[in-house]
Structure 1
Amino acid sequence: MDFGIMNVVSGDLLVSALEHGHKLTDSDGSTSTFRSTCVEFFHGLIHFIQSNREGLLLLAILVSVLFTFSGVFILKPAVFLLGVLIAIPISVIPFQAYMNDSKLRLVLEIGCFIVLSILLGILSVHLMYAVFLFLFGVCFGVVVVAVLQIFVLKYFIHEDALFGALCTVCGLLFGMASIVFPSLILVISSAFTGATGTTASLYIISGRSPYIVPMSNGEFFRSVSSGTKTMAMFLILLALCGMISQSVLLLRHKKKQRRTEEQQPLLGSAHSQSEQNGTDASIP
């Protein structure tokens, strides 16, 4: 990451943000150095994401695949950290008063970045822990940046963001419940509710309503690159494969559990009978 280029770009973006009316001064009129530094950092981060979308998507795929096949118990901190890192650009996108026509494409690709990380985890045996840690990381990151926006940068979040936050929290609760009560419904609800929440938050803070997504007109699809369309189709197929694989795993687990429960009384009676035979044989 070239911080020199980022600082130059961030300075221009900060001027643009000031021209759009972002308040970066204290009550006495003096400019806060800390707040200006935070805004410069966030603008530089967003510019880095915009400039390296393809690379970040490939990194997301790589991290998700490594996480899926390496085991959650080894990479638990990495999964949590991934959620936090994803939450940061989601939360700071409201500062993008300078967004160009590629805004929707950026939103969709970051949404794919999130959904891909969750859906690839569906293929993992330890999905419950993955979803819980990932969504907890996302929630943690969103809360931290929200506090920073409100109390440090004096930038108030749009009230409709409660919809996305509610979905994300519901996904977190489903993930916690799926750890205690392993269930296919809870697992799928956790993954897709969390993904819906974070993606809806992206639509909200980019100026689009989550309740009416413009899928009917051709403008939506024309603004999306062919690579993103392919990625979306891949995610749909991956979701279906994940549901099928997870349902097969749960069915096998239930059958195995049922067989164990059925064999326990038989084993107990056979054990008691052998004990009785042993005592009978010892009596002269």
Structure 2
Amino acid sequence: MSGLITEAVSARLETAGAVPRELDLYSGEGTDFYERLVGTDRAEIREVLALARKTDDPILDIAAGGGRLTVPLVRTGREVTAIDLSDDMLSHLRRALPARSTVECVVADMRDFSLGRRYGLVIIGATSITLLDRVGRSLLYGSVRRHLATGGVFAFTVAGGAAAQSLAVSRTQEIGVPGPQGEETYLFAQQMEDGGAARVVNWVRVADIAAGLEATVLTSRLQVLGHDVLAGELVDAGFAAPAVSPVRTDRGVEILLLTTSWAGSLGTVDDDATG
């Protein structure tokens, strides 16, 4: 495998005579595809808005991306800070914001950020926590703790049910994705690594898999995590044992929402959180 291009995609491109061009799914033109892929997904929004109604404090959306959760929160009049490692992703969010809305968009790593304030609700949607390895998640938990208001809630999602099972096996399939001129067919490939603990994901437009053409391969590497593992990590990090609840989707239970709070005393804002 070259970089993060899976063996299945490499073989398909070589057979066709196409030239691979690897690109991160979450940067540059990869963000345009990602928004087409998930932009209309309404999963998690109902549950996040329900959590937001329980606090009057500001809300922090981590790995906010194009604002799939941020924008609905803003439309309810909430004060929201959105952080993402990719300014390209935040550019999509800025364009999607309602007129005259005030959202603080911050380019920041979810493993280590200092915003100088506390939040009543900290959320991570779209199972984005799986972008982090064990060390990264430990750093994330520390950053969240430093930014939680007293009684504040930390909530994030992870795959469940059939969706979780599908993330644990290598597979290749063609999937229709909305495009500027109508639906386009993409080759999706998932390759398991580290004994099934991680997966490499590729997306490449089928029309580009042809002799002499440059085929952009959008790539990402994610961890395969169950809610039980994450619950244990939260407790070890000093959070309360999380409540685990299903997120309603039109495909049944494919997403689980973990909701927790800091189990100890938060005290004053830490020096390293005020930046």
> What TM-score do you get using the length of structure 1 for normalisation?
0.30
Query: Which structure has greater helix proportion?
Result: 1
> What TM-score do you get using the length of structure 2 for normalisation?
0.30
Relative contact order, higher structure (CA 8 A, sep 6+): 2
Query: Which structure has greater strand proportion?
Result: 2
Which has more radius of gyration?
A: 1
